[in-house]
């Protein structure tokens, strides 16, 4: 397992769930973590937990679909040590549920844009510094919904499927420049993205966020002579 000591890792959606757990574990492996999300209180709380455990953490409140705010956050992250070594694109949400025939176009496009636009913008803003330094890792947290069809999740599924193709194209473009690009596609994970509805799967059967984070860290610490391009991770019982 490779060391992350001295590296800077930027994690979007870093205030809670998979993003927060990933930040904590990356900090435990020696990385300086930079958390980006919309909710300041969650960012502060996660950063405080990391610092209390002896890690180094910074945070910047920004919506990843807001290019101006995101640009400021990335520039601030770059100023910490002059570069960003790891980017974990984790931010995402679901606003459009239900059948396509009865879907609300505004919610549908908002879900698509909120997941895909943030992935693109964050990558586009961070990538030049990685190309300049000749190394880096980009890991996109997607979903099994991007590889398998789920009724009622058309917008989210389309966004994650597009994110998977984005990952594959980017990997081909930058692989020979020393940059690894990877994707993890988890099944049901016990996070706030499910909301409080009665129709959700049994949370006790879901994957824990810290388990996904552990797998992310393993991917990012794979020895330099190999890469884990894509990892599909399901609950023990499979699709819930």
Tell me the catalytic residues: 156
23: in domain: yes
Q: To 10 degrees, the CA torsion angle through 188, 190, 192, 195?
A: 70
Q: Are 22 and 49 in contact, with CB atoms under 8 Å apart?
A: no
Please say whether the beta carbons of 64 and 77 come within 8 A: no
193 belongs to a structural domain: yes
Distance, CA of 179 to chain centre: 17
Residue 132 neighbours by CB under 8 Å, 6+ apart? 83
The pLDDT assigned to 199 comes to: 66
For residue 239, tell me if it sits in a domain: no
Q: Residue 184: inside a domain, yes or no? A: yes
CB atoms within 10 A of CB 41: 9
**Cα 14 from Cα 90, distance rounded (Å):** 8
Q: Is residue 226 domain-resident?
A: yes
**Domain of residue 103, CATH code:** 3.40.50.720
Does residue 185 contact residue 143 with C-beta atoms inside 8 Å? yes
Report the pLDDT value the prediction gives residue 195, as an integer from 0 to 100.
63
Q: Where are the beta strands (DSSP E) in 62-155?
A: 86-89, 136-141
Confidence (pLDDT) at 197: 59
Instruction: Find the radius of gyration of the CA atoms of the chain.
Output: 17
What does the block give as tokens for 77? 């992250």
Q: Which domain holds residue 215?
A: 8-233
User: Which residues, given as ranges, of the chain have pLDDT below 50?
Assistant: none
Number of domains in the chain: 1
Is 12 inside any structural domain? yes
pLDDT value of position 174: 98
How distant, in Å, are the alpha carbons of 8, 43, 186, 215 from that of 33?
A: 6, 12, 22, 17
Q: By CB neighbour count within 10 A (0-12 exposed, 13-18 middle, 19+ buried), where does 52 fall?
A: exposed
Q: Is 45 helix (H, G, I), strand (E, B) or coil?
A: helix
Q: Would you say 136 and 102 are in contact if contact means Cβ atoms under 8 Å apart?
A: no
Classify residue 3: in a domain, yes or no.
Answer: no
Q: Is 98 left (phi over 0), alpha (psi -120 to 50) or beta?
A: left
Predicted pLDDT of residue 238: 83
Q: Residue 228, CB half-sphere, CA atoms under 13 Å: how many?
A: 18
Q: Residue 80's closest CA among 29, 160, 9?
A: 9
* Tokens 């994650």, residue located: 160
34: nearest Cα among 21, 47, 49, 45: 47
Q: pTM higher than 0.75 for the full model? A: yes
Beta strands in 52-97 (DSSP E): 56-61, 86-89
Residue 205 lies in a domain: yes
Report the pLDDT value the prediction gives residue 201, as an integer from 0 to 100.
Answer: 74
């Amino acid at each position: 397992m490779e060391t992350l000591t001295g590296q800077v890792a930027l994690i979007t959606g870093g205030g809670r769930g998979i993003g927060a757990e990933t930040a904590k574990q990356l900090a435990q492996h020696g990385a300086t973590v930079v958390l980006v999300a919309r909710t300041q209180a969650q960012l502060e709380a996660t950063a405080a937990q990391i610092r209390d455990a002896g890690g180094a953490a910074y945070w910047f409140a920004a919506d990843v679909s807001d290019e101006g705010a995101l640009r400021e956050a990335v520039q601030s992250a770059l100023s910490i040590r002059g570069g960003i070594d790891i980017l974990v694109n984790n931010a995402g949400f679901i606003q459009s549920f239900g059948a396509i025939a009865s879907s609300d176009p505004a919610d549908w496009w908002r879900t698509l844009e909120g997941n895909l636009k943030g992935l693109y913008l964050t990558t586009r803003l961070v990538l030049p510094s990685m190309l300049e330094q000749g190394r880096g890792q980009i890991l996109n947290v997607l979903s099994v919904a991007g590889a398998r069809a789920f009724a009622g999740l058309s917008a989210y599924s389309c966004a994650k499927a597009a994110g998977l193709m984005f990952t594959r194209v980017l990997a081909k473009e930058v692989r020979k420049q020393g940059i690894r690009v990877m994707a993890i596609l988890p099944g049901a994970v016990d996070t706030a993205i499910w909301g409080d509805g009665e129709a959700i799967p049994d949370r006790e059967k879901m994957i824990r966020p810290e388990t996904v984070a552990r797998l992310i860290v393993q991917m990012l610490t794979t020895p330099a002579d190999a890469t884990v391009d894509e990892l599909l991770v399901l609950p023990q019982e499979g699709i819930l």
